[in-house]
Chains A and B, each alone.
Chain A
């Protein structure tokens, strides 16, 4: 449901980056989206097509790379996907999973899975346009 809002922010980001684009036509936008953002890609495509209509981004295609969530061990720094929980340990520790790398129970912090990053854009070479422009 928040795909339309996010489509608007893609437009904002690229509007602010227009000098980097140097007036070249944008044909594609590469996004990295964490699966915890719960973004529905067809809805995002639709929202973007409506939002971009009549702007310099009209017709650009979105390419989405999904990023899975990862937890980082605060003891050894190892990254691990969230796993099904183990039963409470004999030492009475709350039912939290130990780090798979070091066995530590110092806590795991969610580090990946919440991003909505505009990674890069695909632009038309200026020469390409010249060639296409000729009869």
Chain B
């Protein structure tokens, strides 16, 4: 005998994420969930972003890693109020862990919340954290085929930063193929080639963030 249930297993996480989003809305904070593989340059991008925005209003950062608080220390030095989540093995952040971290932070005056997810192209894409949008980072040494190979993230990301363009002369990376791979899953994706190290293209990313913040 069959009994109908019809419930989604991610609803529990999504409910907390929705609550967090409303909570952030109530404080006028825009939340960003940045996802990529390890070593793509998320932390460097965030350091530069914090350096640009922290002068106007305090920036909050929540950083997920399996172990260590190396990244939270870096973001703090860059000028953010940073909290590290050490998952001890879990490969993704969940809405509940992020909510817990946010409740322990001083968010007075904060307009921008940067969440740096665990370096992983698979699992973090399945868990909304309460962010207003996801940003995927793909670095040129990783190869242009990654959006085709890991579609879940690139389907969910509103913005894709193609990082390490300063290495383009040294690596075999077809920018058009990477961009087409993203747009196959998300025709509206905003794709910005950047080099966090040299600063190239970063102004366009800052402008997008400024536009988002000014509309809220």
Q: Which of these, A17, A20, A94, A116, contacts B10 with CB under 8 Å?
A: A116
Q: How many residues of A contact B (CB 8 A)?
A: 43
Of chain A, the residue at the smallest CB distance from B8 is: A117
Q: Indicate which residue in A20, A83, A125 contacts B1 across the interface (CB closer than 8 Å).
A: A125
Q: Does B2 contact A (CB under 8 A)?
A: yes
The answer to whether residues A38 and B180 also contact, given A96-B187, A122-B2, A125-B1 and a CB cut-off of 8 A, is no
Does B2 lie within 8 Å of A120, measured CB to CB?
Answer: yes
Q: Is A52 located at the chain interface by the 8 A CB criterion? A: no
- Which B residues between 104 and 159 are near A, CB-CB below 8 angstroms? 120, 122-123, 125-127, 150-152, 155-156
Q: Is B74 an interface residue (CB 8 A)?
A: no
Check A12/B12 contact, CB under 8 A, given A1-B123, A121-B5: yes
Given contacts A107-B188, A117-B7, A120-B3, contact A85 B183 (CB under 8 A): yes
Selected from B5, B122, B126, the residue in CB contact (under 8 A) with A13 is B5
Contact surface of A with B, Cβ cutoff 8 Å: 1-2, 5-6, 9-10, 12-14, 17, 20-21, 24, 30, 36-38, 69, 71, 82-85, 94-97, 107-108, 110, 113-125
8 contacts between A and B (CB under 8 A): A2-B123, A37-B126, A38-B125, A38-B126, A95-B179, A114-B126, A119-B5, A120-B4
B191–chain A nearest beta-carbon distance, Å: 10
Is B81 positioned at the interface, with any CB of A under 8 Å from its CB? no
Question: Is B180 a contact partner of A121 (Cβ separation < 8 A)?
Answer: no
Q: Is the interface of B mostly helix, strand, loop or mixed?
A: mixed
- CB closest chain-A residue, reference B181: A85
Q: Which residue of A lies closest to B188 (CB)?
A: A107
Q: Considering only CB atoms, which chain B residue lies closest to A22 in the complex?
A: B3
Q: Which 5 A-B pairs have the closest CB atoms?
A: A9-B9, A96-B187, A2-B123, A1-B91, A116-B9
Size of the B side of the interface (Cβ < 8 Å), in residues, is 34
- With a CB–CB cut-off of 8 A, which chain B residues contact A114? 126, 152, 155-156
- Contact of A121 with B2 in the complex, beta carbons under 8 Å: yes
Using A37-B126, A125-B1 as known contacts, say yes or no to A85 and B185 having CB atoms under 8 A apart. no
Contact of A2 among B7, B8, B126, B186 (CB under 8 A): B126
Whole-angstrom distance between the alpha carbons of A97 and B184 in the complex? Answer: 8
Residues of A within 8 A of B127 (CB): 2
A21 to B3, CA, bound (A): 7
User: Which residues of chain A are near B2, meaning CB under 8 Å?
Assistant: 30, 120-123
Taking a contact as CB atoms under 8 Å apart, the answer to whether A123 and B152 are in contact is: no
* A116 (CB) vs chain B CBs: closest residue: B9
Could you tell me if B5 and A85 are in contact, using CB atoms closer than 8 angstroms?
no
Q: Are A2 and B91 in contact (CB under 8 A)?
A: yes
The answer, among B1, B122, B155, B156, for a CB contact under 8 Å with A123, is B1
10 extra A-B contacts, CB within 8 A, seeds A2-B91, A71-B187, A119-B5: A13-B7, A21-B3, A85-B180, A95-B183, A108-B187, A110-B186, A113-B155, A116-B8, A117-B6, A120-B5
